[in-house]
Structure 1
Amino acid sequence: MSSQLDQFLDVILALGVVLAVAHLCGRLVQFVGQPKVVGEMVSGIMLGPSVLGALAPEWSAAIFTTEARSAIFMLSQIGLSSYMFLVGCDIDIALLDRSMARRAAALSFAGIAPSMILGGACGVMFFEALADDSQRSNVWQFAFYLGSALSLTAFPMLARILEEHRLAATSIGVLALFAASIDDAVAWCLLPLIVALAESRSIAHGFLPILGALGFVALCFFVFRPLFAFVGRKVEARGALLQEEFALVIVLLLVVIGLTDRIGVYSVFGGFVLGACMPRSAALLAAIRANMYQYVVVFFLPMFFASTGLGTEMRLLFAGGLLIPFFTILFVAFFGKYAVCAAAMRASGFSWRDASALGGLFNARGLMLLIFANVGVHHALIGKSVFALLVTVAVITTAAAMPIFDWSQRASRSSRLASHCPPVQARTRT
């Protein structure tokens, strides 16, 4: 009993430290114009071997014991899947008119295709320099993985950035969000394929998890969606969500998290698809969000950033001649999103300032790239050095989004996307 109590106190200490540092860093970066989520991402790195482990290894070992690390990892996976469930709940294609839909598709394609090609080329070019003994992928698997990772735009992080700056309901915010949601959809299609290729050398066996994922999507939309629609009608009629109904949502969320992991697809895919299949019942979605959002964002997401940071060793970027690959990949990540997306939007009729602002917003990778990095390590597609590289790229590109937006719009505040597409009342909230 004493041993269990000691372990419990160790875990409580670690969780308290993670939360305190995450929210302190989040508050501090807001003073320099950065969104809070950037500080939370940085806090994970600070608590890991890159900062605390290097400066005070005894403190690090005392705070983040084996049991504490295990608890943080498990909470991070539940929290991340729950957050992606909320993200899925917030995607509503009904807000898109035909003109904005075309522009969102063009912006998404401009952000995906060039980045994937350039990232894949970097994967081939630097495979020998970046590969290590823990890595099972061959050069083409690694190139496919790196290209997919660099093509991402983080819809959840972009949404939080826009919400914090009161831009989510503007035309430029809605366009960026829907283009990013297309990127996310492509990413969730690529992720099962990447995992399948990592788990099996056989192409035939490699597609089995993809077939399982398609079956899971069908289950969500043809079985769970009618069930949620029934619950939604009850909630609309009485104006409140009962505890038993909310418990049903949580149980099904836990079921799909475990099911997608069993299929061989990362668990966040399950949370996202379950959220996306929810009926657009305003009362039901508002009640679910009111019950879940604050706890997921305040408690669970910092656990994911901490879990990622505890496995990030920044010193690896300065060893073994990795600086040239790092700066090359960082440049490709930035150029493939900002420059190409800005050029595409300029070609479709936007001013250079608005095109540049959109390119900057679309450069935020945040959570999605961290997810891909964790998947890559878990399935031995990448080693620790590439993991550290991708975490750093995620932080830098996300931190660059709002400064680019502000710089692009500063000289002419009268130049707005409203001159190109009418304002839209957005309901995207996360």
Structure 2
Amino acid sequence: MGNSVGGVLSGVNPFDYNPSSPITLFLFQTCLILLMCNLLHMVIGRLRQPKVISEVIAGVILGPTVFGQIPNYTNTVFPKESIPGLNLTSNLGIILFMFFLGLEVDTEFIKKHIKTALSIGIISLAFPFGCGCLLAIPLFHTYANQDPTARHVKFTVFMVFIAVSISVTAFPVLCRILNELRLIKDRAGIVVLAAGIINDILGWILLALSVILSNSESDPVNTVYILLCTFGWFLLYFYPLKYFLRWALIKANELDRPTPSPFATMCILFLMFISAYFTDIIGVHPIFGAFIAGLIVPRDNNYVVKLAERMEDIPNIVLIPIYFAVAGLNVDLTLLNEGRDWGYVFASIGVAISAKVVSGTAVAKLHGLYFREAAAVGILMSCKGIVEIVVLTVGYNAGIISRKIFGMFILMALVSTFVTTPLTQLVYTDEYRKKIQQKINKNTDSDNEKSLFESEDVIIEDSEVHSLEKFEQIRTFYPSEVITIINSVDSIPPNLELLDLLISGRSCSMKSIHNTQENMVSRKSSVSTLKSRSNRIKKFLSPHKEEMELSMATIAEAPSSFDAIIPLKAVHLRMLTERTADLLQSSAYYNDDPQFTASTDSVLQIFDIFSRISKLPFSSDVIFSTVREKATNIVSMDYNETDVILISLKGIMLMGKNNLVLNDEYSSFDGIYSHILGVNELSSSFFQTIAASLKAHFLLHITNSSGKLVVDRFKIKSFNLLLPNPNLSSSDYFAIHTLIAICYGELRNGHSLHATIFVNSKNAELSNMLRDLFSNDDWLDISILNIVTIDTTLSETSESSSFIDSVMDSGLINKYDIEESTFIIPEHLFSKYDPFNEEVKETILHAANKKFNVLVAHYNYHNTNFKKSESIS
């Protein structure tokens, strides 16, 4: 005992299992299991596979199949005496998991889609159940009751269990797959969710029945008693106790709290443990009691989400992975040493997948879905995942199936889960989904379903106003919609500030502007309104009130494209993890209303309020995405080629004890690029994917002044446009249009600003071109727009000097007021191989070191080759 207390310093071997101190070996086993699970998921997760696959495979590797072949490995690391401790911990985790699974069942959603849910859910369960019964016949005669020391199993019990194993659907994994494939609000996704909930509930009922039959097979009368007790317990919880719990939570104001109180959480956990204990002592299984307890928690005000957020981290991170790894430890694939064994493996895989696909596709087709759409429903319903592993583990521990059959069906579960995502993507492609959506929209009554954006006052069918391939089109261009991507809460303030300048407060519909522009006679002014010496377009904000009022009246009388009402769409890019709370929140968006807005998302509510104040047409969406899938989900969302996609990202954050900027500077673009990807939780290929697939105009806003506590709200804002290209292209025109729109927005808000265009000396006539282009727009007379030519001769002969270096060396930038200023720079090519050209890279690098903001503008060429206009010099 003394040596035991002294530990390894006293010569104790930590791998010798000590029943009086089992925690020592348990901690090592836990570390090993979690390490293996997460290392595998780093690889398998890239294939868009759920974490349960990594956890089970980790158990298989750590078990007798792989590492178990090492001499003395199993007796040292996983001795038989230590397994009960792992089982106890893992069973606690699975009880909590089943409680969370009960939280996910939305009875209101089932009622809304009751016809679809019952028909597809029942038939997609019944047909595979029948196929499983047929498969059970040869399996029973070949493998059942072969071990004389094991318990004797009746055929009926064995048949019911095999049929359940073949017919279940993993609802939690299904929700995650629907989120990753962005099917959660598609017609096929709604059908799958409704059917999956029913399938899941019926599957658990059948599993409970098989366990009851197994535990009471010696006395059939006990089966009736157990069934009656289980049904009575369910009625007790689902009716009086459910309503009492809701009443008590309302009385205690729990449903309105942002986080459930410790007392309320303890009471709900107490109800869960009591229910699990009761179902265990009557001979069912504790997981069914936990599932029943999860069903009664009220869903008002997203209370189930708040409860899951408070409770789930430790079970999901530690306990549940141990459960699935222990299931893998029980798999010994070396037992499958005969040809017939692998024949049954492939047969079970084929029956499990094909029975689900055939039944799900047939019933979905009868409900009016198109064939490939219905096939996607069938494929998704074939997903096994977590639920199948739990079912098999329950059956194995109950002695219904042997270790050999357990290994066969674990392989079936892994394969059927693994192929669900790629088969769905193969059958139900993004292009096909868009065609389906177009057909659905055509079949919808346009009078009843017309969107705000489809009203006559907003949309005009004229491609010229959305085109920006000539310099003259700067004046008439406007995007059909601005779609802003919210990647993090920190990006909201700079995002709203930029939107306020670009599109807020506009008063004229696009149709009226179009008509006004058609009636205007375009001409060039022969009298210069520019001061040629300073290249300045008039004064900014005359101190005389009369001039200000006259200017504002002029804006109202002569609308331009800069006054056009542009719809705003906010897309919240939320992180999708393995957490139950994320799945619960995502399932809250399986709303089939196409005009769904920000009613349940606090971030989108901010943009909803902003659009109401600004009187802008508004829509919103939520995309749950992993880090790897963010770019893919952005480019695959619904948008037009004439839209502008605005992404605001965090750059250098202000930090430190006194909120000061750290003195460290980045010496290369690669350093700041890596920092931007990391701080915004973006994958290394994020911009490459955007550049390769995005078919809309693109604005990238990088903010390097976030986190500053003291901001001078009265400080004159500075916007600087960099035009280093000697031959101006559409992206340059887009950047010029953006700067002028910002100037107009500041004028409209009555604010002061400094706006400067730094242009390549080969385009020295830009000031005259702008003067002639806007000669009919009197509102521009009260804007400051300094145009400065930069001699690029020296930078062309020097390898180290860039356009931004020349601008900084010109002495025209106040180095003390540069913070919080914004530099706009066009990106011409935006190539998938190297998204940013050297000038953009240098500007982003300078912005990080000097703490100013960057706005990168790219004009989409609609999948044509790179175009550029002739030099305007």
TM-score, normalised via structure 2 length: 0.46
| Residues 187-216 of structure 1: CA deviation (Å, up to 9, x unaligned) | 222123211221223322222221121122
Other-structure match for 2:128: 115
Other-structure match for 2:245: 228
Which secondary structure does the structure 2 equivalent of 1:312 belong to?
Answer: coil
Other-structure match for 1:412: 432
| Residues 352-372 of structure 1: CA deviation (Å, up to 9, x unaligned) | 221121111111111222222
Q: 1:175 aligns with which of 191, 212, 222?
A: 191
Other-structure match for 1:215: 232
Using the TM superposition, give the Cα deviation of residue 114 of structure 1 relative to its aligned residue in structure 2, in angstroms.
1.3
Using the TM superposition, give the Cα deviation of residue 228 of structure 1 relative to its aligned residue in structure 2, in angstroms.
2.4
Other-structure match for 1:427: 588
Determine if contact 1:239/1:283 at 8 Å carries over to the other structure. no
Other-structure match for 1:336: 355
Other-structure match for 1:302: 321
From the superposition, tell whether residues 286 and 372 of structure 1 become closer, same or farther in structure 2 (CA, over 3 Å).
closer
From the superposition, tell whether residues 177 and 238 of structure 1 become closer, same or farther in structure 2 (CA, over 3 Å).
closer
| Residues 397-420 of structure 1: CA deviation (Å, up to 9, x unaligned) | 111111111101226241447966
Q: 1:45 aligns with which of 40, 60, 72?
A: 60
Determine if contact 1:356/1:404 at 8 Å carries over to the other structure. no
User: What code does the residue aligned with 1:289 have?
Assistant: A
User: What code does the residue aligned with 2:136 have?
Assistant: G
Distance 2:301 2:166 in 1: 35
Which secondary structure does the structure 2 equivalent of 1:235 belong to?
Answer: coil
Determine if contact 1:84/1:268 at 8 Å carries over to the other structure. yes
Other-structure match for 1:80: 94
Which secondary structure does the structure 2 equivalent of 1:126 belong to?
Answer: helix
Determine if contact 1:231/1:245 at 8 Å carries over to the other structure. no
Distance 2:58 2:367 in 1: 39
Distance 1:63 1:174 in 2: 46
Which secondary structure does the structure 2 equivalent of 1:318 belong to?
Answer: coil
User: What code does the residue aligned with 1:127 have?
Assistant: F
Distance 1:171 1:71 in 2: 46
Distance 1:420 1:128 in 2: 51
Q: Structure 2 stretches of 5 or more lacking a match?
A: 5-17, 445-585, 591-623, 625-873
Using the TM superposition, give the Cα deviation of residue 115 of structure 1 relative to its aligned residue in structure 2, in angstroms.
0.8
Which secondary structure does the structure 2 equivalent of 1:236 belong to?
Answer: coil
Aligned pairs (5 A) from 1:144-293: 144-199=160-215, 200-233=217-250, 234-293=253-312
Query: Are 1:27 and 2:188 counterparts?
Result: no
Most deviating of 368-377 and 257-266: 368-377
Using the TM superposition, give the Cα deviation of residue 163 of structure 1 relative to its aligned residue in structure 2, in angstroms.
3.6
User: What code does the residue aligned with 2:58 have?
Assistant: S
Most deviating of 257-266 and 140-149: 140-149
| Residues 263-315 of structure 1: CA deviation (Å, up to 9, x unaligned) | 11121111111111112222532321111223222222211111111111112
Determine if contact 1:154/1:364 at 8 Å carries over to the other structure. yes
Most deviating of 228-237 and 145-154: 228-237
Other-structure match for 1:136: 152
Query: Are 1:94 and 2:111 counterparts?
Result: no
Distance 1:81 1:419 in 2: 45
Q: Structure 1 stretches of 5 or more lacking a match?
A: none
From the superposition, tell whether residues 335 and 36 of structure 1 become closer, same or farther in structure 2 (CA, over 3 Å).
same
Aligned pairs (5 A) from 1:378-397: 378-397=397-416
Distance 2:311 2:188 in 1: 28
Distance 1:117 1:279 in 2: 36
Determine if contact 2:272/2:293 at 8 Å carries over to the other structure. yes
From the superposition, tell whether residues 24 and 226 of structure 1 become closer, same or farther in structure 2 (CA, over 3 Å).
same
Other-structure match for 1:16: 31
Using the TM superposition, give the Cα deviation of residue 325 of structure 1 relative to its aligned residue in structure 2, in angstroms.
2.3
Which secondary structure does the structure 1 equivalent of 2:22 belong to?
Answer: helix
| Residues 205-239 of structure 1: CA deviation (Å, up to 9, x unaligned) | 22222112112212212453234213431213444
Distance 1:12 1:73 in 2: 14
Which secondary structure does the structure 2 equivalent of 1:350 belong to?
Answer: coil
Using the TM superposition, give the Cα deviation of residue 261 of structure 1 relative to its aligned residue in structure 2, in angstroms.
0.9
Other-structure match for 2:740: none
Q: Which has the larger radius of gyration?
A: 2
Determine if contact 2:344/2:408 at 8 Å carries over to the other structure. no
Distance 1:216 1:37 in 2: 31
Q: Aligned pairs, how many? A: 427
Determine if contact 1:130/1:322 at 8 Å carries over to the other structure. no
From the superposition, tell whether residues 417 and 114 of structure 1 become closer, same or farther in structure 2 (CA, over 3 Å).
farther
Using the TM superposition, give the Cα deviation of residue 39 of structure 1 relative to its aligned residue in structure 2, in angstroms.
2.0
TM-score, normalised via structure 1 length: 0.91
Identify the structure with the greater helix proportion.
1
Identify the structure with the greater strand proportion.
2
Using the TM superposition, give the Cα deviation of residue 346 of structure 1 relative to its aligned residue in structure 2, in angstroms.
2.2
Other-structure match for 1:70: 84
User: What code does the residue aligned with 1:86 have?
Assistant: F
From the superposition, tell whether residues 420 and 73 of structure 1 become closer, same or farther in structure 2 (CA, over 3 Å).
farther
Distance 1:418 1:44 in 2: 46
Distance 1:417 1:57 in 2: 59
Which secondary structure does the structure 2 equivalent of 1:321 belong to?
Answer: helix
Determine if contact 1:354/1:415 at 8 Å carries over to the other structure. no
User: What code does the residue aligned with 2:221 have?
Assistant: A
Distance 2:92 2:398 in 1: 19
Using the TM superposition, give the Cα deviation of residue 13 of structure 1 relative to its aligned residue in structure 2, in angstroms.
0.6
